[in-house]
Structure formats: structure tokens, C-alpha cells
Amino acid sequence: MNINWYPGHMKKTKDLLQENLKLVNIVIEVIDARIPISSKNPDFDNLFRDKKRLIVLNKYDLADPNLNKAWEAYYKSKGWSVVLYNSTNNKELRKLDNAIAEASKEIVERYKKRGLLNRTIKAMIVGIPNVGKSTLINSLAKRKSAKTGNMPGVTKGKQWIRLTGNIDLLDTPGILWPKFDDDKLALNLAFTGAIRDEVIVLEEISLKFVEKMIELNKVDAILEKYDIEQGEKPLDILDNIAYKKGFLLNKTEIDYLRVANLLFNDFRNGKLGNITLEKPEELN
């Protein structure tokens, strides 16, 4: 299997990110709680080594509650601040405020010791595509509609959002690319929608997805959702969904693309339940 995916504007965006990094003291790294390994490029650790880090395990509402706890503990053990977050639920904003305040505490203390009392903390959001960066920024921006405007020494047009606790957040996220180390990683990104569906062969990926669900002991979620039998081979599951739903071309041939679209829509919207595809043990 081969996922061909190379964004042409990669270098330009990376340069911009590097430039913006110089302006901030906190990096808020958004990752997808369903794929905490695959959505977190190991290069980030080098890129952000001099910055205070807050890891946002976003979309935790779609992920497995037990594994959410395990991942939270894992990243905390690395010495980073961590928060489980749902960017689509404004009721959770305070949780994010608290996490950012907690992450910036040390920096505030350092400023205080140097007599810098009203210095704002500057933060930026980074992450790979589709983890929820824009949703997160928009929810913060909507609440605090007051933008602080251009700041001296900052590239013209750059906007900052003033958060509680004297924190300024850059309103444009830093986009990073996932690392396609192996097929497993690329598949996880495809399953969750981090790679645009146009560039992957959805029919092929849906079979891999079924295999993954079998491996995770989560195949029952699919069988129950579509009220089907498992059959003998993973492919039988796709066939059985098609028969059940009447997804047939010319009344005989199975419309695998339609099956794949249904399956991924349901998985990505949490309709197959709370599923996390990766466990902390995989990193040891």
C-alpha cells in the first residue's frame, strides 16, 4: 500500500512556523486523542525543545475513556502539561484556561523575579492538519472577541487573542506535517481523516480499517452498528454492510466506495463508539 501525499507548500509553512516560534514562550501542541502517536511528529520534540509545552489531547470525546487517562498520564510523565479537551464544547473552555495558566506559571514566576510584572505570556497553537487547531482557536476567539492588534516587532497583520491570565495567543496556528514512518502510521492518519480522502484509496483503506478494528477487539462496534454478521474474512464485513444497505452497482456489484464513506463517516463522528487506535505501550 502506498499513500502518496506531499503538500507543496510544506517548506513555506515550516519557515513561517519557525519565525512565529521566536515570538512565543509557550507552545500549545494539539494532538488527536484517538491517535496520540500518529498525530504527534517526534520531530516536534526537537523543534519545541526550548519552549514550555502544553499538550492538548483534543477530540477526547471521541476517544476511549480509559486510554484517555493512560495517555494523559503518559505525557505528564514526560514533564509536559496535558489537558484532555473537546474544542467543539464551549463549556470546556475553562479547563483549557486553567491548563494554559498552569503551563505558564513558571514563566510568570521567572518574570516576577526579574521585576517584570505586567509582561504577557505569548502562546501559539501547533499541530498536524485536522486535529482541531482552528476549532480551538475560534472558540477562544469568539469568547474573547477583543484582539490585541499588532504588536511592535511583530510582522504586520499578525493578530493576537488576549486570554485570561495575561496570556496572548497568536490567532494563526502553526501547521506541521505528520511523519509517514510506516504504513501503520499513515493508515491511522487516513482513518481519522487527517489525510484528505481525495489522495487515498478509500476502498482499500476501509479494509485496513476493518482489520484494525478486529486487532483492537472493536469489531463488535461495526457488527452492532450495521446489524451484520462478521463472516470469515475481513472483506466479508464490507460485503455484508453493502448487502444490508443495498450499496450495489447495477444491482449486483458491491459499491465499496459507498461502504467506505459510510464507515469512515460513522467512525470519524464517533458513531462506532469511543475508540482510540493507539496505546502508550506501543512507545516502549
Ligand X SMILES: Nc1nc2c(ncn2[C@@H]2O[C@H](COP(=O)(O)OP(=O)(O)O)[C@@H](O)[C@H]2O)c(=O)[nH]1
What does each C-alpha distance from 281 to 67, 113, 114, 278, 284 come to in angstroms?
Answer: 11, 41, 42, 9, 5
Does 172 contact Mg ion by CB under 5 A? no
Residue with cell 482510540: 276
CA dihedral over 13, 143, 84, 26, signed as positive or negative: positive
Query: Nearest distance from residue 87's CB to Mg ion, in Å?
Result: 11
Query: Nearest distance from residue 170's CB to Mg ion, in Å?
Result: 13
| b/e burial code for range 59-91 (CB count within 10 A of at least 16 → b) | bbbbbbeebbeebbebbeeeebbbbbbbbeeee
Which residues from 219-278 bind ligand X, rule CB under 6 A?
A: none
Query: Nearest distance from residue 280's CB to ligand X, in Å?
Result: 20
Among residues 130 and 206, whose Cβ is nearest to ligand X?
130
Beta strands (DSSP E) in 182-277 are: 248-249, 253-254
Query: Nearest distance from residue 109's CB to ligand X, in Å?
Result: 31
Among 99, 131, 187, 213, binds ligand X (CB under 6 A): 131
Cβ atoms of 137 and 173 within 8 Å: the answer is: yes
Rounded Cα distance, 81 and 28, in Å: 9
Choices 5-13, 20-28, 41-49, 129-137; region in contact with ligand X by CB under 6 A: 129-137
CA dihedral over 244, 248, 252, 257, signed as positive or negative: negative
Rounded Cα distance, 58 and 278, in Å: 14
Does 13 contact ligand X by CB under 6 A? no
Among residues 134 and 166, whose Cβ is nearest to Mg ion?
134
Does 86 contact ligand X by CB under 6 A? yes
Among 13, 134, 138, 230, binds Mg ion (CB under 5 A): 134
Among residues 37 and 126, whose Cβ is nearest to ligand X?
126
Among 28, 123, 127, 210, binds ligand X (CB under 6 A): 127
Query: Nearest distance from residue 251's CB to ligand X, in Å?
Result: 35
Does 129 contact ligand X by CB under 6 A? yes
Does 174 contact ligand X by CB under 6 A? no
In the chain, the amino acid numbered 196 is: R
The C-alpha cell that represents 209 in the structure block? 480499517
Cβ atoms of 31 and 56 within 8 Å: the answer is: yes
**Binding residues for ligand X (CB under 6 A):** 58-59, 61-62, 86-88, 127, 129-135
Binding-site annotation, residues for GTP: 58-61, 86-87, 130-135, 174
**Binding residues for Mg ion (CB under 5 A):** 134
Binding-site annotation, residues: 58-61, 86-87, 130-135, 174
